[in-house]
């Protein structure tokens, strides 16, 4: 089966294969990013703006704020998890408390 992925409810969560897997309200640590001037941004996820899939990786651009410096905006692409085996569709989320590095491009899922 192909992996179905979307953000719904104004970006409140990311659904992977019809299961709500990634939620807003968590703090993500971002390194080597240009979201703000902080070396390590402490980023509050407030809404998922776009989701993309580049098997096995699931990516998202997230709207929110760095709680260190107050910068608001939308991140580049962040890996939020993986679907290793499309046959069983099981989603393995990343640990959002570890450090993440945003990237510039990914393949877009259908726009929400």
Partner 1 sequence: MVTKVEKWKDEVYGNEIREHLMRFAEEGWDSIPEDEHDEWFERFKWWGLYHQRSGQESYFMMRIGTPNGVIEPGQLRVIGEVAKEYATGPAANPEFGEAVCDWTTRQSVQLHWIKLEDIPEIFEKLESHGLSTQQACGDSWRNIVGCPVAGKDKHEHVDAWPVAKDLHETFKGDDDHVNLPRKWKVAVAGCDQGCGQGDINDLSLEPAVKEIDGEEVEGFNVRVGGGLARKEPRFARDIDVFVRPENAADVAGACSALFRDNGDREDRFNARIKFLMDEWGPEKFRQVLQDDYVDFELETAGEDLREAYSYNAGDGNGHGDHVGVHEQPDGNYYVGLNVLVGRMGADDTLELADLADEYGSGEVRLTQRQNIIVTDVPEENLDAFLDEPLLEDYSPDPNPFMRGSIACTGTEYCSLSIVETKNRQVRYARWLKENVDLPDDVEDFHIHLSGCTASCAQPQIADISLRGMKTRKDGEPVEALDIGLGGGLGENPRFVDWVEMRVPADEVPGAIGNLVANYEAEREDGESFREFVEARDEETLADLIEPEETDYEDPYMHNTKMTWYPYVEDDSMEDSPAPTDGAGQPLPSDD
Interface with partner 1 (CB under 8 A): 4, 6, 8-13, 15, 17-20, 23-27, 42, 44, 46-47, 49, 65, 67, 70, 72, 90, 110-112
Residue 89 and residue 50: Cα distance in Å, rounded? 20
Residue 37 contacts ligand HEM per CB under 6 A: no
* Alpha carbon distance 55, 93 (integer Å): 14
Rule CB under 5 A: say whether 41 interacts with Zn ion.
yes
Q: How far apart are the first and last CA of the chain?
A: 21
Q: Is 38 a residue that touches ligand HEM (CB under 6 A)?
A: no
């Amino acid at each position: 089966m192909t992996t179905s992925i979307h953000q719904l409810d104004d970006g409140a969560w990311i659904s992977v294969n019809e299961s709500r897997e990634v939620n807003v309200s968590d703090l993500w640590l971002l390194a080597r990013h240009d979201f703000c001037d902080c070396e390590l941004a402490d980023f509050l996820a407030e809404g998922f703006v776009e989701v993309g899939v580049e098997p096995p990786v699931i990516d998202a651009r997230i709207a929110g704020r760095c709680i260190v410096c107050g910068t608001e905006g939308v991140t580049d692409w962040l890996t939020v998890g993986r679907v290793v085996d499309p046959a069983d569709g099981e989603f393995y989320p990343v640990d959002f408390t570890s450090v993440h590095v945003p990237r510039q491009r990914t393949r877009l899922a259908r726009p929400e």
